[in-house]
Amino acid sequence: MSRYALRLPGRRVGRLHVLVACAILSLVLTAYLMEVSSSKPEVQRRERTLVSFQQKGVFDYDAVLKKNTLYESETLERGEGIFFTSIVDVLRIRYQYSLESKGVSSATARHSLGAFLVSRGSGKGSQVMWQKRLPLSDTSKVKLDSGSRSFTREYSLNVTEVLNLARTIEREINVRGDVYIMLSSLVYLEAESEASILEDKLSQEMMISLGSSIESEGATANSTKKIVDYIEEPGKVSLFGVTSSVSAAKHLSWGMFMITMLLSSLSTLYFFKNREKKNPLTSVEVINKKYGSWIVKADSFEPKLDGAVKIGSMKDMVRLSEELGRPIIYSKRGGSHIYSQTDGNTAYYFEVKE
């Protein structure tokens, strides 16, 4: 057995089998690496927030009640009961603004508020019939260096006076509708950072219905704004559970491809060399065809092999015949094909067994 062969239970595995197995394994690894490395780009863009801030405005209110037999308390908080318009004297309205920043070096929020008496047709979203500004306005300003800031503003509206104003306007223009108090709030924010200047607006409208009971909508508003840039990072993939860059995976896949080509070439080369050894040098038909000019067939000739020199290959036998200047005698004995040659008292032969 060849020293390059492996002995496995029940069979013999030679170099060619090992080369083919390695080539197949290398091909599978190459395909896997190419698939993984092509699944993501070599360079990925990641978003990075430079500056961000979040604004929030919240309206809330409670009521100062007229003397009534329904509620014992003089004030009524939202959620404690129904705000019947006929027993509400004053609405105490609160507006709370909060600002939270990340990465902002300085910011200024300027707030303004206006109040309007509005009449709309019946139904939600109906057209505004008339609008009257109320003598309620306010402006404020807050500065922020970092973190978060907030402020609260409080306003009072006499519901009886507002309703009387609405009835007067309806009599004058002979148009009746659903009456609302509209509180319009606007916060204009300017923020500066090393990267840029940010600007944002937080506008909000709360509609307070003055029907049989007082109800409201639009109590909360939010705004979030940020400035980002993009940084380029090497793409990452997982190779057999190990994190690697896409670039490294591609180089590795090309390396495995070259190894696969090398193993395939070695397997092919070894296959043909092995075939050449097994086929041309052991096939009687090929030998007779290839070296027919040196061979003389003798059917009845039986060479004496005892004490004769055995030649290792047919090529060496032909080379010997060239040196001696004598043809090679071919004969068949049993299951062997004998190619013989004599030089004086010395006999030479090459044997091919069937």
How much of the chain exceeds pLDDT 90, in percent? 30
pLDDT bracket for residue 124 (50, 70, 90): low
Mean pLDDT of the chain: 84
What would the mean pLDDT of 82-86 be, rounded to a whole number? Answer: 94
Q: What is the 3-state secondary structure (H, E, C) of the chain?
A: CCCCCEEECCEEECHHHHHHHHHHHHHHHHHHHHHHHCCCCCEEEEEEEEEEEEEEEEEEEEEEECCCCCCCCCEEECCCCCCEHHHEEEEEEEEEEEEEEECCCEEEEEEEEEEEEEEECCCCCCCEEEEEEEEEEEEEEEEECCCEEEEEEEEEEEHHHHHHHHHHHHHHHCCCCEEEEEEEEEEEEEEECCCCEEEEEEEEEEEEEECCEEEEECCEEEEEEEEEEEEEEECEEEECCEEEEHHHHHHHHHHHHHHHHHHHHHHHHHHHHHHHHHCCCCCHHHHHHHCHHHEEECCCCCCCCCCCEECCCHHHHHHHHHHHCCCEEEEEECCEEEEEEEECCEEEEEEEEC
**pLDDT by residue (tens digit) across 318-351?**
988 888 888 888 888 777 888 888 888 888 888 8
pTM beyond 0.85, yes or no: no
| pLDDT at position 113 | 94
| pLDDT at position 292 | 82
Where are the chain's structural domains?
14-41+236-278, 48-232, 284-353
**pLDDT by residue (tens digit) across 200-247?**
899 999 999 999 999 999 889 998 887 777 888 888 888 877 888 888
Tell me: pLDDT of 174 over 90: yes
**pLDDT by residue (tens digit) across 90-101?**
999 999 999 888
pLDDT bracket for residue 42 (50, 70, 90): confident
